[in-house]
Amino acid sequence: MATPTQVPGWIAVDWGTSNLRVWALDDRANILAETQSPLGMNAIAGDEKLSFEGVLISLIDAWLPSDARGVPVVICGMAGARQGWLEAPYCDVPARPSDLAQGAVQPNVRDPRILVSILPGLCQRDDADVMRGEETQLVGFMDAHPGFAGWVCLPGTHSKWARVSNGEISGFRTYMSGEVFALLSQNSILRHSVKEGWDDGAFADAVRAAKVQPASFLHSLFTVRARALVARDGAAVAPGGAVLSGTVIGAEIADVLGLLQPGEEIALIGAGKLASLYQAALGVHGHKATPMDGTAITLAGLTQAYHTLKTASERI
């Protein structure tokens, strides 16, 4: 952990289920120091010796002189869940970035050096859905792309697709694709079929098939296994992992493409292998979406919230 050479203007925290990231920043959002920890919400909820404030202070103590007072700490993510530090009730869609910042809650803290604000998640009442953390990435994205109108994809264990236009998040959809893929490839009969190899063409074929037969998901899964059993001796069989991955990601994308209105764009936030697969799958259907780094976007969203909170407090 680097010690900042100056007292931070504020501190940004992305507190997830299984880890957290913390940044010390100046008022122009220059990063003075950063650190991370595996003590996400689940670890704290599962250990009565841990508290959210205690974990946070242990990470930022060296950044704060003893005479510092009320340094703003802006937190997004699971710290605001019911099982978190202090519940920040969900903000309903449609929502603007300012609605989210205004929904922040301030837990009581013992350490006078900090003033903590926890941002709310988003919820959707009809077509029930929730997010905590991704909304801050959406805010960061919207800040950098004010004219964007379309769907923003955040791939993950539970992928999120949010509809954004006119500076507003109008709705969103969570897909259990990542978790379903993990369960099928590790715990189902398909685990025998996904062991070896990868083939981009087989992935693309499965993505294409998922759009042609969007209702056939539960059947398409079984063909991942059956195609090896029916192959004639010596015939090449497409790698099951690529087919399964294309079937699952393809089903998710086929559903979203069915909701895409003329003129709407698609943006992709994420990094690494998973984001590349989404990029490839979108490319199969002729949609170009270059993955944008999620960490920078989270920090941009927290910065946006910090400025809104600061402006509001200065008005009081």
42 makes contact with a second copy (CB under 8 A): no
Helix spans in the chain (H): 41-45, 52-60, 97-102, 134-144, 177-187, 200-212, 217-230, 240-257, 272-284, 294-315
Query: Of 32, 41, 248, 281, which lies in the binding site for a second copy, with binding defined by CB under 8 A?
Result: 248
When binding is defined by CB under 8 A, the residue of 4, 9, 199, 217 that contacts a second copy is 217
Of 7-15, 120-128, 138-146, 191-199, the window that binds a second copy (rule: CB under 8 A) is 120-128
Stretch that binds a second copy, among 162-170, 196-204, 251-259, 271-279 (CB under 8 A): 251-259
Minimum Å distance from CB 155 to a second copy? Answer: 12
Q: Does 216 bind a second copy (CB under 8 A)?
A: yes
Gap between the Cα atoms of 248 and 271, Å rounded: 19
Question: Can you tell me the distance from the alpha carbon of 99 to that of 308, in angstroms, rounded to the nearest whole number?
Answer: 10
Burial of 110 (0-12, 13-18, 19+ CB in 10 A): exposed
Q: Of the ranges 8-16, 48-56, 118-126, 198-206, which one interacts with a second copy (CB under 8 A)?
A: 118-126
**130 is an interface residue for a second copy by CB under 8 A:** yes
Q: Phi/psi at 248 (nearest 5 deg)? A: -75, -55
d(CA 289, CA 239): 26
For position 280 contacting a second copy by CB under 8 A, the verdict is no
Distances (CA, A) of 198 to 158, 182, 209, 266: 23, 16, 18, 26
Stretch that binds a second copy, among 128-136, 198-206, 276-284, 294-302 (CB under 8 A): 128-136
* Both structure tokens of 62: 């060296």
Q: Applying CB under 8 A, what is the total number of residues that bind a second copy?
A: 41
Binding site for a second copy (CB under 8 A): 90, 123-125, 127-130, 158, 173-177, 179-180, 183-184, 187-189, 213-219, 221-223, 226-227, 229-230, 248, 251-252, 254-255, 258
